[in-house]
């Protein structure tokens, strides 16, 4: 019970605290292993606030996933728009696409590995991959599908593989997996690096490695957008 005489947070602040606490605790322990009592204590609110604002633990979990998706969309939206603009422009050169690829890798490296909040977000995403809940579609439709679409457009432009083809989809997943492994294996990565966190130099090193490997993947493909043929002057 919350002590009387203490000022209670406003409704919006209460929901914000619970979502923040849920992001941390669901990221650490998963949905089933996290109790409503733990969530309320971490948020510093009354236990009754969870059913009042979210209808229960599952409702709070849904709100956390929606928060994750909204945060990632805000974080990546401008980058995705720039990459898609390059992919959709017939005048873009292969070098334009490679520059977009490098920006995409660096941007996703920062999003997936660059801060503490990303760690909790990524942990929730990984747990949903391993043991999906009914809320999985919130992540899939809200973020996973969007990331895959951007990578598909970019690699499709660089390889000529048709959109929606199994080969292109698998190549996209293979490229994305180069970063996922560092998120999933973060503890082992840090142990080998002899560090308790990834520094800016580490992040740049990871991005450079993934860029080199991804450029090697597409290097054997001919450009798929030759420059427009000049119009032949009429005699």
Kindly state whether residue 190 falls inside one of the protein's structural domains. Answer: yes
C-alpha count within 13 angstroms, C-beta hemisphere, residue 116:
3
Separation of alpha carbons 210 and 137, rounded Å: 28
User: Tokens representing 86?
Assistant: 């390059």
Segments forming the whole domain that contains residue 19 = 11-54
pLDDT the model gives residue 121: 83
pLDDT of residue 3: 43
Provide the pLDDT for residue 223.
53
Mark whether 74 and 140 lie in a shared domain: yes
Band of pLDDT at residue 188, cut at 50, 70 and 90: very high
- Tell me, yes or no, whether 97 lies in a domain: yes
Query: Is residue 33 pLDDT above 60, yes or no?
Result: yes
Domain shared by 47 and 75, yes or no: no
Please check whether residues 72 and 47 belong to one and the same domain.
Answer: no
What's the distance, CA 40 to chain centroid?
27
- Regarding whether 192 and 98 lie in a shared domain, the answer is yes
Residue-level pLDDT at 108: 94
- Is 225 inside any structural domain? no
Domain membership flag for residue 213: yes
In a domain, 158, yes or no: yes
Q: Are residues 72 and 162 in the same domain?
A: yes
Q: Is the CB of residue 112 less than 8 Å from the CB of residue 179?
A: yes
Please indicate, yes or no, whether residues 39 and 136 belong to a single structural domain of this protein: no
- Is residue 230 assigned to a domain? no
pLDDT of residue 184: 84
Q: Is the pLDDT of residue 88 over 90?
A: yes
Whether the predicted pLDDT of 235 surpasses 70: no
Q: Which two tokens stand for residue 6?
A: 């203490």
Domain count, the chain: 2
Taking only the tens place, the pLDDT of each residue in 48-69 is: 999 999 999 999 999 999 998 9
Residue 46 sits in the same domain as residue 69: no
Q: What mean pLDDT comes out for the span 150-158? A: 95
Same domain, 181 and 142: yes
129 located within any domain: yes
| Band of residue 120 on the pLDDT scale cut at 50, 70, 90 | confident
Q: Is 12 helix (H, G, I), strand (E, B) or coil?
A: helix
Instruction: Assign 233 a pLDDT band (cuts: 50, 70, 90).
Output: very low
Tell me, yes or no, whether 84 and 47 share the same domain.
no
| In a shared domain, residues 46 and 101 | no
Question: Would residue 6 count as lying in a domain?
Answer: no
The pLDDT score that the predictor gives to residue 4 is 43
**Pair (45, 132) in one structural domain:** no
Task: Check whether residue 27 and residue 113 sit in a common domain.
Answer: no
Q: Averaged over 72-91, what is the pLDDT?
A: 94
């Amino acid at each position: 019970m919350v002590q009387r005489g203490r000022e209670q947070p406003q409704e919006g602040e209460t929901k914000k605290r619970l979502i923040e606490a849920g992001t941390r605790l669901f990221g650490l322990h998963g949905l089933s292993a996290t109790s409503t009592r733990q969530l309320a204590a971490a948020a510093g609110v009354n236990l009754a606030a969870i059913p009042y604002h979210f209808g229960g633990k599952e409702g709070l979990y849904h709100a956390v996933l929606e928060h994750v998706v909204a945060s990632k969309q805000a974080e990546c939206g401008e980058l995705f728009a720039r990459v898609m603009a390059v992919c959709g422009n017939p005048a873009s050169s292969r070098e334009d696409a490679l520059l977009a690829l490098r920006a995409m890798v660096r941007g996703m490296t920062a999003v997936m590995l660059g801060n503490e909040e990303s760690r909790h977000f990524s942990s929730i995403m990984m747990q949903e991959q391993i043991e999906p809940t009914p809320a999985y579609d919130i992540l899939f439709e809200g973020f996973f599908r969007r990331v895959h679409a951007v990578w598909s457009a970019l690699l499709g432009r660089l390889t000529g593989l048709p959109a929606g083809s199994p080969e292109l989809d698998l190549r996209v997943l293979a490229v994305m997996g180069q970063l996922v492994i560092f998120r999933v294996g973060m503890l082992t990565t840090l142990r080998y690096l002899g560090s308790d966190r990834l520094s800016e130099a580490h992040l740049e090193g990871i991005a450079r490695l993934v860029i080199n490997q991804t450029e090697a993947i597409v290097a054997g493909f001919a450009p798929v957008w030759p420059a427009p043929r000049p119009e032949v002057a009429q005699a």
